[in-house]
Amino acid sequence: MTLKSGSGSGQACAACKYQRRRCKPECLLAPFFPADDPKMFQSVHRLFGVKNIQNLLRQLSPDRRAMSTAVKSVKFHAYMRDRYPVYGCLVEIHHLSCQIQAAQEQLQAVLNQISYYR
């Protein structure tokens, strides 16, 4: 049995499919961009480019590459840039910052009540 693609499913990964080339077993992008999600690759490609992603993956050791949070971060950044073209991730960062501030205010209110009842 021979593998025709890096993804192991018999078809080219989304990166190779987008570039219209044959997906080799040693394809760096195949584990991160499966053939069934081409839109995610297109978003990442539009924002970062294939060479930059490949360079990022080459800098990682093979054991760290398998559980890479770098690619997850790149995918998230591209997804947020698709959703919010102007601000990208800043929208989510601001939203989370507001949630943290609200939680801190609630905590302070609870601590004030506890000290009052003591």
The 10s digit of each residue's pLDDT in 40-79 is 999 999 999 999 998 988 888 877 777 778 888 899 999 9
Helices (H), 48-88: 50-59, 62-66, 69-83
Res. 2: pLDDT tops 70: no
Residues 30/40, Cβ–Cβ less than 8 Å: no
For residue 32, how far is the Cα from the chain centroid?
9
Residue 24 in 3-state DSSP?
Answer: coil
Please tell me the predicted confidence (pLDDT) of residue 49: 92
Mean pLDDT for all residues in the chain: 87
